[in-house]
Amino acid sequence: MGLWYSISGILLLVFFVVIGIEGIGLYSFFTIFIPYAAVLLFVVGFTYRVLKWASSPVPFHIPTVCGQQKSLPWIKPDNIDSPYTTGGVVKRLALDIFLFRSLLKNEKVDLEAPHRLLFRTSTLLWLGALAFHWSFLIIILRHLRFFLEPVPSVVVILQRVDSIFQNLLPILYISDLIIVIALGYLFIRRIIYPQVRYISLPSDYFVLLAIGGIAISGVLMRLIYKVDLVQVKEWVMAMLSFRPMPPKGVNLLFYIHLFFVSLFIAYFPLSKLMHMPGIFLSPTRNLLNVSRHRRHVNPWNHPVKVHTYEEYEDEFRQSMKEVGLPLDRE
Amino acid sequence: MSEEISKDKPLKIDYTPPRERWMEPRVEFRKGTYGYPAASKHEKYLELPNPREWQPNEEDWKLPEDWKEIILKGMEDRLDRYRSFRLFLDICVRCGACADKCHFFIGSGDPKNMPVLRTELLRSVYRRYFTLPGKIFGKLAGARELTKDVLKEWFYYFYQCTECRRCSVFCPYGIDTCEMTMMGRELLNLVGCNINWVIEPASNCFRTGNHLGIPPHAFKSTVDFAIDELKEITGIDVEVPINRKGAEILFVSPSADYFASPHWYTFLGYLLLFHEIGLDYTWSTYASEGGNFGLFHSADLAKRLNAKIYSEAKRLGVKWVLGGECGHMWRVIHQYMDTLNGPADFLEEPVSPVTGTPFENAKSTKMVHICEFTADLIQNRRLKLDPSRNDKWKVTYHDSCNISRGVGLLEEPRYILRNVCNEFYEMPENTIRERTFCCGSGAGLGSDENMEIRLRGGLPRANAVKYVKEQYGVNLLTCICAIDRATLPPLLEYWVPGVEVAGVHELVGNALVLKGEKERTTNLRGEPIKGEEEELHV
């Protein structure tokens, strides 16, 4: 269900660009208005969402502890999985953000016999996710060459390394290859694993398809339907200096690519893609396990009705007296 | 145990999701799969909303007229008060890594027991009323109207989560379903949908100081009984101070320790230990409960029950507090107590009176775990131990969820066990420490009427026990959680007959060589110390 909605949604959007460009010739609309609007939505939406999270306090100290606490001096504490210093918590977050360490712990449970469980390590999702996110990041960094003049040497080097196989396969970036494979895997697993399919919403497919659209249109522009990159850079620079004009010498594929990028950027703050900033704020990952050592303050800690010792003694005084328990008031 | 469950009719587990989509709320309140609703007298005693007599399997739940507004307002309020709530509702990508990490999913195959879907039950309503795409695109954006059926589903599934936090270990963003369940239960409470197994203990605790509702004089007589029993086993007269002002330490343990079995033997273990080291301490009848069923209901109720510990420590004028073996009690004490009812500036930073070791890690909360305390005693060679007195046991250790994922207290109990028994075997790596499996009965789900769900939820733990039983002949599962001690025996009897359950301090009590004791012939259970086979050969 959700899958077909998403596929038709994506096709509809492609159709929208084709009609808009080939049919009506809305060049400025697609290359100036939409990208500007998308960036504006992104900046406003992203900031709004992050501030919204930040404005809710963390009332309780709830790290998910995954290692030995720091307690007695002769017991070796685990500063990454039960961090007790800021350095430890930074390492823990960094390992999760850059290496998806929690996902690496993944294991699959199966029934070996009716009531006998079998645990197997399951690293495919970790590998697929890591491959996707890293290649996506590298591709974004490579695109900096359109935004910066002169192109920083880091970006140039990255581009060289990424295209190290040029002699074998003309002009193929490693990151392009990996992202297409990884996206394919992430998409297919949503369809073939019954449980993942069961939990998937239309938006889950939609995001993958939209990024897939960006990747494939990008690869095609590089491999087959070449676009004049000098013209593209001129267009970007004009946009950045707020003297926009539509690019010349680009083909339909460029408009599709750009449209999907704009869509992705605009959709970002409205969607689960916000997991990117979200992980930094996750209270189960970014807190130190030192809650008995240092008091955590809850800003809304309101008074509650308690049952005082006086009330308790009033109720049980007689029986306490009979068995000789000490009393505050005879 | 309900009649339907017997070994002749094994529980079926099927991981294939059903044909109909999860977005259609559908829940069947079948006997054995849910807890009875809270008795109104207890709700009234605690002054909770909408107390009434009702049954989940009946059509009419007697909700207040404006139940929907109450829930949505409650959600809005909590979104503003809990970052975890808003964040975890927003950032899940539905990758599915959590799916087979939940013991209830593993044991039932019910897809709504996958942590991701358990949370989607709330998330879908959040999308509909609090997010732009949900308001515009509705179902297409995964949004659902809040209907009575959705509420019923919440009740069923948020009381089918033990708040064990295993899923949050595997989630790439640390999304903690426990937080979601806590919010779900708080919301349900606003319209008067609670279960009795949570509310009755909480109400008892509010009134008498402990979940079991034991009044002070009965507490005294149970202690007297323990003193007699210890005299018989060891020949020693143990002194057990109660409500004594001016003691150095207040000791608080879960009430099951002094009233239930096999907890009782752990209780005897504490008493022997404190006697042997001459601890200047006291029990309290007012704060006679370490556990906190309020945590399974709402932050406010947790605070109301927890307040007694500090207030009693202040009244008695102790220096610091020592806590017994309990799971969720330690989640509260480690992660909540100081925040809820602190600062405990009237107490002193805890220092062991025997070894002089300062408990740096408990500097602010001023409450020390008994395993930290005992491990320090053993490491400083202050205890004379004879581990051979536990030779009838081949021991394994079950990490309680809250102790491992809430506190990180992993090595202390293991260190103690290695010193008090000769044969100790670990269960497989993926079922212990931070990956430990819940007993399936925590967070208020331990009632008999909920037995089918408990057995299903207990399967992964039992399965690992079965493994060490077959491999090494393990016959004793030790743990430091009162709920484990109460609920694992029937589960193990069903899944792995022949394995008993004990607290760590029961084995400490057995191994502890007391000054002036008579030769011990029985362990704290009153069973011969030598294994039966050995005796035959004598």
Predicted confidence at residue A3, as pLDDT, reads 87
Question: Is residue A279 a contact partner of residue B91, using CB atoms and an 8 Å limit?
Answer: yes
Q: What is the pLDDT of residues B391-410, one digit of tens each?
A: 999 999 999 999 999 999 99
- What residues in B contact A59, CB-CB < 8 Å? 81-82, 299, 339
Distance from CA of A71 to the nearest CA of B (A): 5
Mean pLDDT of A250-256: 92
DSSP-derived pairing of the beta strands B281-282 and B249-252: parallel
Confidence of residue B1 (pLDDT cuts 50, 70, 90): very low
* Residue A309 near residue A325, CB atoms below 8 Å: no
- Give A-chain residues touching B141 at CB under 8 angstroms: 201-203
Interface test with B, best of A41, A291, A305 (most B CBs within 10 A): A291
The domain ranges of chain B are 40-194, 203-537
Q: Cβ neighbours of residue A197 under 8 Å, at least 6 residues apart?
A: A190, A191, B17
- This model of the complex carries an ipTM of 0.94
- List, in order of start, the domains of chain A with CATH numbers: 2-303 (1.20.950.20)
| CB contacts, 8 Å: A114 with chain B | 10, 13
Instruction: Tell me how crowded residue B474 is: count the other CB atoms within 10 A of its CB.
Output: 23
C-alpha torsion sign, points A140, A143, A148, A152: positive
Q: Chain B: give the shortest CA distance to residue A6, in Å.
A: 10
Q: Which of B11, B174, B286 sits opposite A282 (nearest CB)?
A: B174
Query: A124 and B193 in contact (C-beta within 8 Å)?
Result: no
Give the β-pairing of A116-121 and A107-113.
antiparallel
What is the value of pTM for the model shown?
Answer: 0.95
pLDDT reading at B532 higher than 70:
no
How far is C-alpha B203 from the geometric centre of its chain's CA atoms? 18
Cα A95 to the chain's mean position, in Å? 14
Q: Which amino acid is at B452?
A: E
The contacts of residue B186 (CB under 8 Å, 6+ apart) are B74, B78, B297, B298, B299
Q: In this structure, what DSSP letter does residue B242 have? A: B
Beta pairing, strands B476-479 & B500-503? parallel
Taking the C-alpha atoms of residue A59 and residue B84, their distance in angstroms, rounded to an integer, is: 9
Cis (ω within 30 of 0) for the bond into B262? yes
Q: What is the mean pLDDT of residues B455-480?
A: 97
CB atoms within 10 A of CB A301: 15
Contact at CB, B335 and A323, closer than 8 angstroms? no
> Residue B322 and residue B267: Cα distance in Å, rounded?
14
Question: Which pLDDT score is estimated for A161?
Answer: 87
Give chain A positions within 8 Å (CB) of B245: 326
- With contact defined as beta carbons under 8 Å apart, do B95 and B81 qualify? no
Query: Residue A167 — very low, low, confident or very high, per pLDDT cuts 50/70/90?
Result: low
**How far apart, in Å, are the Cα atoms of A325 and each of A72, A107, A321, B214, B256?**
36, 55, 6, 15, 21
Q: How confident is the model at residue A269 (pLDDT cuts 50, 70, 90)?
A: very high
Neighbours of B529 (CB within 10 A): 18
Query: What CATH number matches the domain at B40-194, 1.10.10, 3.40.1350, 2.40.70, 1.10.1060?
Result: 1.10.1060
DSSP per residue, B457-509: HHHHHHHHHHHHHHHH---EEEES-HHHHHHHHHHHHHHSTT-EEEEHHHHHH
Does B462 or A224 have the greater pLDDT score?
A: B462
Extract the tokens encoding B285: 């009848």
